Amino acid sequence: MDCQDWSPVVFKKKNPSNAPKKTEKKMDAGKNSHKPDLNIKKLVEDDIPQIELKVPHDISMQIQKARLDATMTQHELATKTSIPAKIVTDIENGSIVYNAQTKKYIQMLAKSLGIKIIKQKT
């Protein structure tokens, strides 16, 4: 019986109750973050009016006329060019923002319809 160990085994020691607990406050934790100085840059940028250019009317009319001459619906044209139907509708209505991606879509539509887009100078 010399091989047995009868000493108690402690799996988890408890912290002493009289020792002060260490607490670290994370950055801005528990604070109300509705400070006006956090979004000053955003407010200044919002004061400047942003002008969003829409698709010119003459371009949208050229695409619409070519599509109607080919007797295609907007959905058929969209599936032929792998463009979402809503984009084709927005381009023909002139309600989409005229940016680089929209220009790509217009070029794809013009190529599939076999037309050359001519932008009229105003």
- The pLDDT, as a whole number, for residue 32 is 61
Burial of 11 (0-12, 13-18, 19+ CB in 10 A): exposed
Higher pLDDT, 7 or 30: 7
pLDDT, tens digit, 9 for 90 and up, residues 63-89: 999 999 999 999 999 999 999 999 999
Contact 94, 56 (CB under 8 A): yes
Q: CA dist 90 to 44, 66, 118, Å?
A: 31, 16, 19
Contact 87, 77 (CB under 8 A): no
pLDDT, tens digit, 9 for 90 and up, residues 18-63: 766 676 666 665 666 555 555 556 655 656 666 778 899 999 999 9
C-alpha–C-alpha distance, residues 59 and 30, integer Å: 55
What domains can you pick out in the chain, each with its CATH number? 57-113 (1.10.260.40)
